[in-house]
């Protein structure tokens, strides 16, 4: 029986990543075409500095090209889009840390929209069960701080720069968020 090869535009993102792992440039270009627009919007929601966003985008897709073979995919409950965002979020944290060591910290993040963003929807899909329910019940300002500190691994200083808040406010909100999470999970 003959195998029929689909065009990259007809494949899902997971299959595209698998083809990228084999060095398929057309699959990489299609993956970039599909994911780069939302990735840029999501990064801009966390960082208003276009230079950092551009650097993170470049580093993310370079990492995807180099490490596509390490993608475990659905076999471990993951998705290609989630894998891409994990790489991008880590690169963004790295960029903030690099900038924190220089004289001028990165500009504060863009203000959050009133409507739930794609990031919150992905968070809801990845953090499920009682923890996800408790996280979604937090006030938005507490959830933002907890997400930056715990899920993104930022320091208090980096979180304060990202959210445009004093470090003391970040610490207070983190404490309040943890107390609320403990109560909700008890």
Tell me the whole-structure pTM to 2 decimals.
0.53
Confidence (pLDDT) at 4: 35
What is the DSSP-derived secondary structure letter of residue 165? -
Phi and psi, residue 155, nearest 5°: -80, 170
**What does the pLDDT read at residue 148?**
80
Nearest Cα to Cα of residue 61 among 87, 96, 90: 87
Q: Which residues of the chain fall short of a pLDDT of 50?
A: 1-4, 103, 105-106, 109-110, 113-115, 117-119, 121-122, 125-126
Short-list 69, 75, 73, 185, CA closest to 127:
185
pLDDT at position 76: 63
CA distance 5 to 29: 17
Contacts of 41 (CB under 8 A, 6+ apart): 118
């Amino acid at each position: 029986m003959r195998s029929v090869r689909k065009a990259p535009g007809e494949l899902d993102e997971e299959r595209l990543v698998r083809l990228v792992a084999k060095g398929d440039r057309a699959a990489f270009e299609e993956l970039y075409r599909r994911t780069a627009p939302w990735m840029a919007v999501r990064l801009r929601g966390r960082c208003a500095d276009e230079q950092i966003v551009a650097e993170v985008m470049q580093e993310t897709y370079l990492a995807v090209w180099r490490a596509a073979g390490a993608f475990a995919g659905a076999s471990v409950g993951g998705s290609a889009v989630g894998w891409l965002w994990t790489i991008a979020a880590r690169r963004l944290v790295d960029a903030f840390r690099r900038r924190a060591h220089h004289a001028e910290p990165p500009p504060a993040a863009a203000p959050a929209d009133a409507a739930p963003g794609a990031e919150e929807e992905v968070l809801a899909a990845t953090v499920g069960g009682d923890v996800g329910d408790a996280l979604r019940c937090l006030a938005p300002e507490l959830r933002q701080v907890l997400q930056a500190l715990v899920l993104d691994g930022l320091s208090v200083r980096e979180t304060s720069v990202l959210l445009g808040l004093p470090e003391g406010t970040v610490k207070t909100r983190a404490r309040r968020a943890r107390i609320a999470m403990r109560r909700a999970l008890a």
